[in-house]
Amino acid sequence: MLKEVSNKILKKCGGLPLAIISISGLLSNRPAIKEEWEKVKRSIGSALEKTKSLEGMSSILSLSYNDLAPHLKTCLLYLSLFPEDHLIDRDRLVRRWIAEGFISEEHGQSKQEVAENYFYELINKSMVQPVDIEYDGKVRACRVHDMMLEIIISKSNEDNFTTVVGGGQTSLPNHQGSIRRLSIQHIDKKVASELANVDLSHVRTLIVMPSCCVTHLPSLERFEALRVLDFEGCEDLKDYDIKGMGKLFQLKYLSFKGTNISMLPSGILLLDNLETLDLQDSYVRELPAGITRLTTLCYLIGSLEKLPNGIGGMMNLQLMPGFSITSQEIDVLEDLGNLTSLEELNVDLDYKVSCKDKRCEKEAFLSSLCKLGTCKLRSLHIEARRGRGSLDFLDSWSPLPSSLQRFWAPYPNSFPNVPKCITPALSNLADLCICMTELTKDGLLTLGKLPSLLCLKLWVSKKFVVTVQATSFPNLKELYFRKIEQAYVSFVKGSAPRLEEISNMPFSVSAAKANKFYLGIHHLPCLRRAYIRLDGEDATPSERKAAAAAIRKEADANPNNPAVTFEEEPEEEDNEETGGSDVEKSKEDGIADED
C-alpha cells in the first residue's frame, strides 16, 4: 500500500534528485502508515509535477523545513551565516551553537553530545549535505545546497535571525530591527565604514570572512553582546584594533584560526565566560601570563612552543594545544595529569631540542599519562617532526585509559614491536597508527584481538611473513601499510570479516611463491578495494605476472567483486581495468604515504 503512495510522491517530485532526497528525509521520520504518507503527498502540491519549476522545488524544500522541530529550525537557520558552497566544520559549528545558547543538556548527555545529535539529525533529514565521512561513520563537515540555502536565508530574514553583509553588495542591506547575528563577506572599505552608523549592540554572533576590509570595521567595543566572534582566515587582522576585546564579557567562542596575529591582547584575560579559543594555523605561539585564570575554557586549539605555568588548574579543558615535550618545564609536564576533563592530547618529542635531561621529561610526561588513565582521555597523538626517538617508556603506562579511541605514533621505529600498552583491554580503541621495527605473529595476534579496532595503519622496518588468523580483527574496516618492503601478509577464512579497504598491501612475490601466490582476499566478504604493492625482488617477470593473475583470480571469486589495483603492474599486463596506480588512488582517497 505504501508503494502506491510512494510512486505518486516520486511523480510529484518530477524526478529531481534534490526533491526526492528532501522528501525521503522527511518520510524517514514519519510513521510508515499510508495516511501519514498521503498527507505528505497532498502537501507537495502539483507545481513541480507539472513544470519542474524552481517555485515547485522551493515548495518541497519549504515543506521539509516546516516539518522540523523548533530546535532544529534554529540550528539550521544559523547556517545562513555562511556563503554558498562553504565547507562547514562539524566541531566548530556545534561549538557555536552551544555558545549561542541553542543547546541544553538532555537525558544525561553533555551539550557537545546533544549538539552533535542535532547535526546528524539535519543530515538524516537531508537538510544539509555530509562531507568527509570517515571510517567510523562520523561526518566531519557539511555543506548546504544552494537552493536550501536560499530557503533558510529567506526564513532567516523573515525572523530577523541573521544579517549578511557583502557577497557582491555595494551597500548595507535595508534592515528592520536590531541585528542579532552578523556575517560580513567580502566587503570593501565603503561598506565597512557604513557599519559605523548601525546599531551593533545586540549582535550575538559576528563572523568576518576572508577578503574583507577588516581594518575599517567598527571597534569591537560596539559589539557588547557578542557570544561568538570568528575571524577565520583574515590575513590582515594584525592591522585591526582588537584591544576592545576585554569588554566582550559575554563572549564564549573566539576564533583566530588562519589569521596573521602573533600575540593575543591582554584583554582576553577578562573573558571569564570564554569556552573556545581557536588559534589553529595562526602565528600565536605563547599565551599571555594569567591565561590559566580562564577556568571555563574547554577547547584551547592550536600549537604552542610553551605551555603556561599552572595549566593544571584549567580543569574544564577537553582539548589543549599541541606542544613539544622537550620545550616544557618539568613541573608543567607533571601538571598535565591534573587535567581530568582532557579528551585529546597532541605532543611532539622533538629530540633535536637541546635539553638537560630527556629521561626526566619522559618520566614527568608518563606520570601525567598514568593519572589521565583513569580519566576521559580519548585521543593521544605523538609526533617527532624534527627527530627520532623510541616510545619504549610507554610500556610503563598504567592504568591504561579505558576510554582511549585513537592512538597515533606515525614516525619510524617508534617501537621495536607491538608495545605492551596496546592490549585488548583497550576495548574502545578504534583508530591505531603505529610504526615498529618488526612485526611478529604474536604481535599480529595482539592487534587482531582489539575488539573495537576500525582503522589500522602499520609501518614496519624489517621484512616479515604473517598470516591474519580466523577471528582476528572482528570489526576492522580499513587496513593501511606504509612503505613496507619484502613482506608477505595473507588472510585465512574467518579473518577480518568486515574489512572494506586495504591500502599499500606489501606482497613479496618470492615469499609467496611457495604458497602459490595465495593472498586470501576471496575470504573477505566486505572488501571493496585493495591497493597492492607487488615486490618483485628475487622474482622473475613470469613469477610477478603469475602473482598478479592469482590475486585477480581471488578477487573474481569474491562475491563482493572488489577492485584490485597494483602499484607496480607486471610487464605485459593490461592495467586499464584496475583504474590506475596505487599511488594515484591513494592520493584521491587521502591515504597516500605521509613520509
Tell me: the pLDDT tens digits for 39-81?
A: 666 655 544 444 444 455 567 777 788 888 999 999 999 999 9
Question: At 18, is the pLDDT very low, low, confident or very high (cuts 50, 70, 90)?
Answer: low
**252: exposed, middle or buried (C-beta count within 10 Å: 0-12, 13-18, 19+)?**
buried
Of 67-81, 343-357, 461-475, minimum mean pLDDT range: 343-357
Is the pLDDT at 590 greater than 70, yes or no?
no
Mean pLDDT across 293-298: 95
C-alpha cell at 447: 592487534
Compute the mean pLDDT over every residue in the chain, rounded to the nearest whole number.
85
Model confidence pLDDT, tens digit, residues 182-223: 999 878 778 888 888 888 999 999 999 887 778 888 889 999
Q: Tell me: pLDDT of 37 over 90.
A: no
Q: Residue 407: is its pLDDT beyond 80?
A: yes
Rounded-to-integer distance, Cα 586 and Cα 172, Å? 47
Query: What's the pLDDT at 268?
Result: 94
In terms of Cα–Cα distance, which of 138, 171, 176, 172 is closest to 159? 176
pLDDT at position 339: 96
Whether residue 467 contacts residue 490, with contact meaning beta carbons closer than 8 Å, is answered with yes
Confirm if 496 and 476 have CB atoms less than 8 A apart.
yes
Long-range contacts, stretch 440-443, CB < 8 angstroms, 24+ apart: 440/464, 440/466, 441/466, 441/467, 442/418, 443/417, 443/418
- Which H or E run contains 151? helix 146-158
In the structure grid, which three cell numbers stand for residue 493, read together?
577464512
pLDDT for 82-129, tens place per residue?
998 899 999 999 999 999 999 999 888 999 999 999 999 999 888 899
What is the b/e burial string over 390-414, where b = at least 16 CB atoms within 10 angstroms of the residue's CB?
Answer: ebeebeebeebbebbbbbbbbbebb
What does the pLDDT read at residue 73?
95
What is the per-residue pLDDT for 14?
47
Per-residue pLDDT, averaged over 247-262, amounts to 94
The cell numbers describing 416, all together, are 621495536
Q: Who contacts 329 (Cβ-Cβ below 8 Å, separation ≥6)?
A: 309
Check whether 574 has a pLDDT greater than 50. Answer: no
pLDDT of residue 525: 97
Q: Which of 20-34, 131-145, 452-466 has the lowest mean pLDDT?
A: 20-34
Which of 318-322, 373-377, 574-578 bottoms out in mean pLDDT, i.e. has the lowest? 574-578
| Per-residue pLDDT, 536 | 85
Mean pLDDT calculated for residue range 310-315: 94
Please give the pLDDT value at position 591: 32
* Lowest-pLDDT choice from 120-124, 146-150, 510-514: 146-150
pLDDT at 53: 47
Q: Residues for the chain: how many in total?
A: 595
d(CA 409, CA 592): 17
Average pLDDT over residues 429-446: 94
**287 and 304 Cβ atoms separated by less than 8 Å:** yes
Burial 445-468 (b: 16+ CB within 10 A, else e): ebbbbbebbbbbbbbbbebbebbb
pLDDT digits (tens, 9 = 90+) for 376-389: 999 999 987 655 56
pLDDT-derived band of residue 414, with 50, 70 and 90 as boundaries? confident
Place of cell 547535526: 119
Rounded to 10 degrees, the C-alpha dihedral 23/27/33/38 comes to -20
66 by Cβ neighbours in 10 Å (0-12 / 13-18 / 19+) ranks as exposed
* Strand ranges across the sheet with 129-133: 88-89, 139-143, 129-133
| Average pLDDT of the segment spanning 375-403 | 85
Q: State the sign of the Cα–Cα–Cα–Cα dihedral 569, 575, 578, 583.
A: positive
- The pLDDT of residue 4 is 67
